[in-house]
Amino acid sequence: MKKHLSAWILMIPTLLLFGFYIWQPLFYSIYLSVSETKGYEVIGFAGFKNYIEVLNDPVFLKALFNSFAYTLWSLVIGFLVPIILAIVINELVHLSSLIRISIYLPNIVPMIATILIWKFILDPGAGGLLNSLLMGLGMGKVGWLQQEAIIIPVIISTLTWKAAGATTLIYLARLKGINQELYEAAEIDGTNIFQRLRYITIPQIYNLGRILLILQILAVFQILIEPWLYTGGGPNNASVSLMLLNWNYAFRDFQAGKAASISVIVNIILIVLTLIYLTFNKEQDE
Amino acid sequence: MKKIFLVLFCFILCASAFAMGDNEAKGDRTTTLSLGLWPEESRTADVASMTELKKQFEAKYPDIAVKPAHYKYQPDTFIPMAAAGQVPTIIETWFTEPGKIIDAGYAADISAVLNELGYMTKMNDSVKTMVSRGGKVFAIPRDAYALGLYINLNVYKKAGLLDANGMPKYPKTFDELAKTAKIIKDKTGIPGMMITSKDNVGGWHFTNLAWAFGAEFEKKVNGKWMANLDSPEVIAAMNYVKDLKWKYDVLPESTLLGWGDWIQYFGTDKIGMCFAAADVVGIPVNDYKMDRNAIAIAPIPKGPGGQYSLMGGTIYIFSHTATPAEVIAAFKWLDFTGRLPKIDEESMKNREIDLQAKVDAGEPVGCYPLPVWNDKAYNDSIEQLNRKYANINMDLFKDYYTIAPKTLKAEEPYATQDLYRTLDGVIQVVLGDKNADPAALLKEANDTFQKGFMDKVK
């Protein structure tokens, strides 16, 4: 112990920060979820009362369904985009750094600015950028952010615009690391570009893709800011997510216990999803 | 050696973090009044007049230090502040908020102070009920307002809807409202009306509209409170909203509109009419440099079920962490600035300073609030002061001030914000989908609201 004293002392700040920013909120959240609360103050033990009330909230099922819908749409719309972009950029001879920078730019635009820009583009009136383009092409206007049927894919598209660049860079770094001799050998064997993609590129980025897939699921399932700022969860709760419901309980209705119980439910769902994914992967690896 | 330095550095870092305490010098002033009513920095005229008031107040009460702590109430910023005990001694909020703030334990019980100062018996009964729990009172009203029909005179002028004296020919019934809006749309291309649908504002406005169709959203049946969102009257009101959008086509293209939107649309001449109360008449002027003489307010139109004006307003609440001395200091401030039902030279003079600052800043002055205290002399004095400093043509508000006070109706009693949220959802679908069926949507909303909220009312 004495030997490691200075090491322990050096670790104290990190441990304190971890405790303060991660462990304390995590455990406090679980504690709050089984407590009766008055504001943020715990006034008694509630058992599963908060959970039962939250599960009976008519909006809960919709939010649960929507959170899965966001995740699925994000995989459909957003998962392949960075991979395709990375492969294309990797093949480019000219302008590759310019394009690399431009696809990363949306990432450094602040969230609020992004949403304001997109609201302008998606404005449902004839003055909306996208609608005026459509009308110029002789098509009708679309109420982009106010139709229940399309609201989630629309939000996910804007999210993809913002986030794809960063993921592309990760794939691109992996692609650059592939041993060029593999391609040379394949070319000598007379393969075409699709075969090289199929037998070299994709297997080489496969493992990275698996990690990014689960990270994307974890992140999108917790979507909050976009639906909150684009639509406030509307129209008619069509875009409300579990985290937005959580936010509403905590900051609009002042019911910390119920908000915490949603956090715990989201946590459990994500743990289950991750476990299923890991088991599935393990079987595949074996 | 390097290691020792590093360890030492860590220690210093930790120690300095702990050492940063509250070093504020108070001098002889034993009580600090942290004043959430302080205007925001950008409103220089208000800040200047407030600073002057602070100086005089501190000269009068040498034991009280006034600490400017501008705070504009928002539910999402209030809760973290309250949980951390950082709410200023006194802040303002709206009539819809005290219920949840009191239930969350974030408002101080001021019954004793009110009894001692004699204001308890002067408070308007319906307001008192709203801010009380179990016989204890947790807030006092600042003022109350009735919802009205805002009229943009620039748009009315373009549509040829002003008479020879420049007075708007405003709609007296909801039928006329649709027709007037249609005239505006046809002649100017500008949407004649706005129907909000977001952030509970939509439901809030809609209840007032639906009352005029005879709606009653919550009622007691055999001793139990029942939701009544799918009554023929509510359906008729919702069909009216649907017609505004799809039959008359007099609403803005965007159908997800909330509080900030009416201000922007109205302030930039992008709509002809909308619902709002008289207390916010300065916001479009401040935020969008709208001409203050281009605003008129008419009473909410009559419908088949009568004519009603929803009552809203502003209350003062006191931080749950404030000491009794601090609460009393806050009351002294309210007294000093003429916000309590008491007429004396000092408080009236300070009220005038406040109004003069608004006049100097070019904000509209003249729209006086509805009485919240049972003190006729005091209420009259407020109206007179506002009229004295009026910088707008009060004829534009004449009918509003004659009719609205007689048609006042308090908000629905239970889970009011949740009711608004539920209605928001229905309005959003009705405005977004031409083929929406209001009856079916309201039936569904009624079941949800009954199960989610009314079943819990005891």
DSSP state of A190: T
**Contact: A252, B254; criterion CB under 8 Å:** no
User: In the A/B pair of chains, how many CB contacts fall below 8 A?
Assistant: 100
Q: Which of A39, A247, A253 sits opposite B105 (nearest CB)?
A: A39
- The rounded distance, in Å, linking the Cα atoms of B331 and B322 is 12
Q: Which of A39, A125, A252 sits opposite B83 (nearest CB)?
A: A39
Q: Which of B3, B428, B448 sits opposite A234 (nearest CB)?
A: B428
Is the pLDDT at A111 greater than 80, yes or no?
Answer: yes
Provide the pairing of β-strand B136-137 with B139-152: unpaired
Phi, psi of A209 (to 5 degrees): -60, -40
Residue type, A209: G
- Determine contact, residues A89/A102, Cβ cutoff 8 Å: no
CA of B107: which chain A residue's CA is closest?
A39
CA distances from A5 to A16, A19, B4, B193, B260 (A): 16, 20, 11, 73, 58
Minimal C-alpha gap between B258 and chain A (Å): 10
Check CB contact of A232 with chain B, cutoff 8 Å.
Answer: yes
Identify all chain A residues contacting B253, using CB atoms and an 8 Å cutoff.
123-126, 141, 143
CA–CA–CA angle B45, B51, B52 (5° rounding): 95
Q: Which of B75, B256, B258 sits opposite A146 (nearest CB)?
A: B256
Residues belonging to chain B with any Cβ–Cβ distance to chain A shorter than 8 Å: 3, 6-7, 10-11, 13-14, 75-76, 79-80, 82-83, 100-101, 103-106, 197-199, 252-256, 258, 417, 424-426, 428-429, 431-433, 448, 451-452
Check CB contact of A44 with chain B, cutoff 8 Å.
Answer: no
**Contact: B79, A250; criterion CB under 8 Å:** yes
- Residue B120's pLDDT is 92
CA dihedral B48, B49, B51, B52 (to 10 degrees): 120
- Residue B173's pLDDT is 97
- The rounded distance, in Å, linking the Cα atoms of B275 and A65 is 35
Identify all chain B residues contacting A132, using CB atoms and an 8 Å cutoff.
none
CA B22 from centre of chain: 35
Check CB contact of A90 with chain B, cutoff 8 Å.
Answer: no
pLDDT in tens, A181-199: 998 898 898 888 888 888 9
Q: Is A236 left (phi over 0), alpha (psi -120 to 50) or beta?
A: left
Residue type, B280: V
**Considering the domain B31-144+312-389, what is its CATH architecture?**
3-Layer(aba) Sandwich (3.40)
Residue type, B159: A
**Contact: B13, A13; criterion CB under 8 Å:** yes
Task: Say what the ipTM of the complex is.
Answer: 0.73
- Residue B139's pLDDT is 95
- Residue B10's pLDDT is 53
- The rounded distance, in Å, linking the Cα atoms of A240 and A261 is 17
- Residue B15's pLDDT is 54
Identical fold for domains B31-144+312-389 and B146-311+406-456, yes or no, is yes
DSSP state of A39: B
The residue whose two tokens read 């950008």 is B42
Q: Which of B83, B199, B432 sits opposite A143 (nearest CB)?
A: B432
- The rounded distance, in Å, linking the Cα atoms of A46 and B304 is 48
- Determine contact, residues B46/B39, Cβ cutoff 8 Å: yes
- Determine contact, residues A42/A32, Cβ cutoff 8 Å: yes
Q: Which of B76, B417, B448 sits opposite A251 (nearest CB)?
A: B76
Burial grade of A192 (CB within 10 A; 0-12, 13-18, 19 or more):
exposed
Minimal C-alpha gap between B426 and chain A (Å): 6
For B221-254, the three-class secondary structure string (H helix, E strand, C coil) is ECCEEEECCCCHHHHHHHHHHHHHHHCCCCCCCC
DSSP state of A201: I
CA distances from B228 to B248, B411, B419 (A): 28, 15, 11
Neighbour count for residue A138 (Cβ, 10 Å): 6
Provide the pairing of β-strand A41-45 with A35-38: antiparallel
Regions of chain B where pLDDT drops below 50: 20-25
Neighbour count for residue B301 (Cβ, 10 Å): 20
Is the pLDDT at A110 greater than 80, yes or no?
Answer: yes
Query: Which one of A141, A236, A239, A251 would you mutate to disrupt binding with B, by most B Cβ within 10 Å of its Cβ?
Result: A236
Identify all chain B residues contacting A239, using CB atoms and an 8 Å cutoff.
none
- Determine contact, residues B329/B304, Cβ cutoff 8 Å: no
Q: Which of B79, B254, B429 sits opposite A236 (nearest CB)?
A: B429
- Determine contact, residues B306/B211, Cβ cutoff 8 Å: yes
Identify all chain A residues contacting B102, using CB atoms and an 8 Å cutoff.
none
- Residue B27's pLDDT is 60
Domain boundaries, chain B: 31-144+312-389, 146-311+406-456
Minimal C-alpha gap between B79 and chain A (Å): 6
Q: Which of B199, B254, B258 sits opposite A123 (nearest CB)?
A: B254
Identify all chain A residues contacting B75, using CB atoms and an 8 Å cutoff.
251-252, 254
Does the domain spanning B146-311+406-456 belong to CATH 3.40.190.10?
yes
- The rounded distance, in Å, linking the Cα atoms of A54 and A265 is 10
Is the pLDDT at A41 greater than 90, yes or no?
Answer: no
- The rounded distance, in Å, linking the Cα atoms of B236 and B238 is 5
Query: Which one of B254, B422, B451 would you mutate to disrupt binding with A, by most A Cβ within 10 Å of its Cβ?
Result: B254
CA of A125: which chain B residue's CA is closest?
B253
**Contact: B253, A39; criterion CB under 8 Å:** no
- The rounded distance, in Å, linking the Cα atoms of B71 and B48 is 17
Q: pLDDT-derived band of residue A39, with 50, 70 and 90 as boundaries?
A: confident
pLDDT in tens, A131-146: 999 999 988 888 888 8
DSSP state of B371: P
- Residue B295's pLDDT is 96
- Residue B24's pLDDT is 45
Check CB contact of A61 with chain B, cutoff 8 Å.
Answer: no
CA B146 from centre of chain: 10
Positive or negative, the CA dihedral B183, B185, B188, B192 is positive
Neighbour count for residue A280 (Cβ, 10 Å): 11
Check CB contact of A56 with chain B, cutoff 8 Å.
Answer: yes
**Contact: B6, A41; criterion CB under 8 Å:** no
Give, rounded to a whole angstrom, the gap between the first and last alpha carbons of chain B: 71
Provide the H-helix boundaries in B20-145: 44-60, 75-83, 98-103, 111-117, 125-130
Q: Which two tokens stand for residue B326?
A: 């601090």
Query: Which one of B185, B424, B435 would you mutate to disrupt binding with A, by most A Cβ within 10 Å of its Cβ?
Result: B424
Does the domain spanning A56-285 belong to CATH 1.10.3720.10?
yes
Contacts of A35 (CB under 8 A, 6+ apart): A42, A43, A44, A45, A46, A50, A257
Provide the pairing of β-strand B64-68 with B31-35: parallel
- Residue B20's pLDDT is 47
Provide the pairing of β-strand B295-299 with B64-68: unpaired
Could you tell me what percent of chain A has a pLDDT over 70? 99
- Residue B6's pLDDT is 56
